A and B are shown apart, each in its own frame.
Chain A
């Protein structure tokens, strides 16, 4: 599986690394050195950028589709389940790189657990949700093929990337919910439960994706 993961790794490594390289410096020096060393808003703005990881998925699948990668791999002595597992593993790695990068950046800015834990938890939960959404999109690819389903990844990508703005304007602001209140949720144990549930969902969706890929042979 490591060999396949290596084959699939290019876009899945490139995207999160580029995100970190270009994303982190976007936040100005004042924010980081102000009275609140690790502004919670920092995490709130940084986390949704994880949706850009879906771009890695789209780029990778577009390349596979162009090269008839699945047809090539199916000739080799590789079980289809292994192909799916390798792709899901690389997706996990991509999300993990970004989440870990963010958490390290947070820790670099502040060691105060009052800020560090909820900020990190927020990004971790976002990462876990991103995995579930990506897994659902992979199900679509294995069921319908990239040529038919690829456009939905792009649509999901645009919608999810821009979603924080309408959520803030239409839901949070009218109800007077502040960033601090949002972060309150991430101080308790709920975020651990949520993350665990997402990861379990991701694993189950991977199993389902294997089934879908087998069915696609029919």
Chain B
């Protein structure tokens, strides 16, 4: 599989936080969701990739190029939307588009205007009068108007109301499906990631703890509801976050395929129930188990 981005032993040390030797590969042409609780190191990782902060160790290769030596060339092919949107706020969306167009080799003015129309962004209004949602959409319009090969979105929906959040995610879903782009979407809102991602990376306390395809992840992780007598103790011991409730117990397995056969009789008799889990259940299990 071809990888569009690769980090090797990437390290950043802060007084109270260490991003610890991150080895990460992002496959080309897919949407990679980067999930983690606040302070896990998602933004630090993305800023290191964008060369917005300096690494203390390791390297980043994007499109096969070094992200520091070939920064300009790489940024020409990346569409970036950060958690905070920075613009010259006394200027308009029209001015901003014209200004940034000079720095990108493949700026598509027609696409920019079309995206602004689609997002209902006024051309001549000063950006400082925009709402947070409008600024995110303007950022997206800029990020997508120079035909980027890689789109990096760092918590783009953070702080948005549910309606605009859904708008943005739906737009991204359609856009990525239609244009076959590689996307890295970082968020602690697992619902957003779940809707559009092909691959999932979990990051906790400055480390990558899991990196798998979403389908495999969701087929591996299941919630098992059981009565103590219906399930062998050796299997119960392998479950995580086992909780006893009034009508039985439940626990998470991260290797459902390995125990599926053993569960089959209990499932057939109705003593055992297997439930699909969400990405947030997995995140909580990983955080608690970390």
Interface residues of chain A, those whose CB is within 8 Å of chain B, are: 3, 7, 67-69, 71-72, 74-79, 214-215, 217-218
Contact = CB atoms under 8 A, between A and B. Distances in A.
Contact of A3 (B73, B90, B103): B103
A72 B87 contact: yes
B71 A79 contact: yes
Contacts of B76: 77
B138 to A, nearest CB: 12
B86 A68 contact: yes
B72 interface: yes
B44 to A, nearest CB: 12
Contacts of B221: none
B52 interface: yes
A75 B54 contact: no
Contacts, number: 51
A67 B104 CA distance: 21
Given A217-B54, A218-B54, A75 B72 contact: no
Q: For the complex, would chain B's binding face be called helix, strand, loop or mixed by DSSP majority?
A: loop
B88 interface: yes
B102 A3 contact: yes
A28 B258 CA distance: 97
B103 A67 contact: no
Given A67-B87, A71-B86, A77-B76, A218 B53 contact: yes
A72 B102 contact: no
Given A217-B52, A217-B54, A218-B53, A76 B100 contact: yes
Nearest to A69: B88
Contacts of B100: 76
A77 B104 contact: yes
Contact of B82 (A75, A77, A78, A217): A75
Q: Would you list the 6 A-B pairs with minimal beta carbon distance, nearest first?
A: A77-B75, A72-B86, A218-B54, A71-B86, A68-B86, A217-B54
A71 B73 CA distance: 18
Interface in B64-84: 71-76, 80, 82, 84
A74 B76 CA distance: 12
Contacts of B80: 75
B53 A217 contact: yes
Nearest to A70: B86
A7 B88 CA distance: 10
Given A76-B103, A77-B75, A214 B54 contact: yes
A72 B95 CA distance: 14
